[in-house]
């Protein structure tokens, strides 16, 4: 039974540059995959990540979460973190000196492969392959933007990778960070109860997942497809693959096109799945 505390709620704010740890230090956590979040709203974490499988894995020390309050690196009496855009315009921009200080603190002690990313609508769109790449790293540092964004010089100076959750604009990066962490953490060894779940789900092979059914066998005059009750695993597997292909072709032609482009074509024949 793990002795890692199961309490990872909001801690009292203190005037210190020490990261806000959401699971206390222990020998187990020294080797745990770690997410470090730079944010103006540390109280937003762990949020939904503290629930269900990700929350259980957090409590068990399979991964750990640390937040760095950007306000603690602010300038002057009021700890200002932003200023008006150079050249004029609406909104405010996060200052480079403040942001850089927070990044240096958050990257202190990192080892191995440790991506530093900025949640930005300008970035490459997040996908399952990126989640796998993040899960295969030693940890990750995420900068959650606010206002009109971050001074470009910081992104250039640190070589920060910009990543987008999708083609839309949000008020800040915290929700996007939680979504990406959820997709990543569930791929860490020991998080999912059934390792096959990560293999058979949507996007694992570039396709959408096949339909799922459970008891009762008939509900409101709708029956489970007979093949799923046949016990013939070869037929079940073939049915699921066919359903997965059909759903992807109908609902996500963009994915279907990519899968077909990767599939080897027989001589004289068009590539197909």
The 10s digit of each residue's pLDDT in 94-153 is 999 999 999 999 999 999 999 999 999 999 999 999 999 999 999 999 999 998 999 999
Our CA angle for 236, 266, 232, nearest 5°, is: 10
Mean pLDDT of 44-51: 97
Please tell me the predicted confidence (pLDDT) of residue 68. Answer: 98
Mean pLDDT of 213-235: 94
Mean pLDDT of 192-214: 72
At residue 16, does pLDDT exceed 60?
no
Please tell me the predicted confidence (pLDDT) of residue 99. Answer: 98
At residue 198, does pLDDT exceed 70?
no
Q: Whole-model pTM?
A: 0.80
Dist CA 9 CA 21 (whole Å): 10
Beta sheet of 20-21, edge-to-edge order = 20-21, 63-69, 33-39, 139-144, 116-125, 161-164
pLDDT band for position 258 (50/70/90)?
confident
Which helix (H) or strand (E) segment holds residue 186: the answer is none
From residue 61, alpha-carbon distances to 4, 135, 143, 222 in Å are 7, 15, 23, 43
Mean pLDDT of 19-25: 61
Please tell me the predicted confidence (pLDDT) of residue 224. Answer: 93
Please tell me the predicted confidence (pLDDT) of residue 27. Answer: 43
Please tell me the predicted confidence (pLDDT) of residue 205. Answer: 75
> Packing angle between helix 128-135 and helix 174-185, nearest 10 degrees?
70
- Nearest CA to 186 out of 66, 44, 58 is that of 58
Dist CA 59 CA 57 (whole Å): 5
Average the pLDDT over each of 41-50, 91-100, 199-208 and give the range with the smallest value.
199-208
Please give the domain boundaries of the chain with CATH numbers for all domains: 20-185 (3.40.1280.10), 201-262 (1.10.1270.20)
Please tell me the predicted confidence (pLDDT) of residue 15. Answer: 37
Within the chain, where are the H helices? Answer: 52-60, 96-107, 128-135, 152-158, 174-185, 197-200, 233-251, 253-262
Please tell me the predicted confidence (pLDDT) of residue 8. Answer: 36
Distance separating the N- and C-terminal Cα atoms of the chain:
46
Please return the burial class of 243, using the count of CB atoms within 10 Å of its CB with bins 0-12, 13-18 and 19+: middle
The gap from C-alpha 76 to its chain's centroid, in whole angstroms, comes to 34
Please tell me the predicted confidence (pLDDT) of residue 1. Answer: 42
Mean pLDDT of 148-171: 95
The gap from C-alpha 160 to its chain's centroid, in whole angstroms, comes to 16
pLDDT band for position 195 (50/70/90)?
low
Q: Are 58 and 182 in contact (CB under 8 A)?
A: no
Our CA angle for 183, 239, 258, nearest 5°, is: 50
Length of the chain: 273
At residue 4, does pLDDT exceed 50?
no
Please tell me the predicted confidence (pLDDT) of residue 206. Answer: 83
């Amino acid at each position: 039974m793990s002795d890692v505390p199961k309490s990872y709620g909001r801690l009292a704010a203190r005037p210190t540059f020490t990261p806000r740890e959401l699971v206390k230090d222990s020998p187990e956590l020294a080797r745990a995959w770690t997410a470090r979040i730079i944010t103006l709203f540390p109280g937003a974490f762990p949020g939904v990540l503290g629930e269900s499988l990700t929350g259980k894995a957090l409590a068990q020390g399979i991964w750990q979460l640390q937040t760095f309050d950007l306000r603690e690196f602010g300038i002057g009496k009021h700890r200002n973190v932003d200023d008006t855009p150079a050249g004029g315009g609406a909104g405010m921009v996060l200052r480079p000196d403040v942001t850089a200080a927070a990044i240096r603190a958050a990257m202190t002690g990192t080892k191995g492969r440790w991506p530093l990313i900025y949640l930005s609508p300008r970035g490459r769109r997040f996908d399952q392959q990126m989640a796998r790449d993040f899960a295969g790293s030693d940890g990750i540092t995420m900068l959650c933007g606010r206002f009109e964004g971050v001074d470009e010089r910081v992104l250039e100076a640190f070589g920060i990778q910009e990543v987008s959750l999708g083609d839309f604009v949000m008020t800040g990066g915290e929700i996007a960070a939680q979504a990406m962490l959820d997709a990543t953490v569930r791929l860490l060894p020991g998080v999912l109860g059934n390792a096959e779940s990560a293999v058979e789900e949507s996007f694992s092979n570039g396709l959408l997942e096949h339909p799922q059914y459970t008891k009762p066998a008939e509900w409101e005059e709708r029956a489970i497809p007979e093949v799923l009750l046949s016990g013939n695993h070869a037929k079940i597997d073939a049915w699921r693959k066919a359903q997965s292909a059909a759903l992807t072709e109908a609902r996500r032609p963009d994915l279907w096109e990519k899968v077909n482009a990767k599939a080897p074509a027989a001589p004289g024949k068009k590539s197909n799945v």
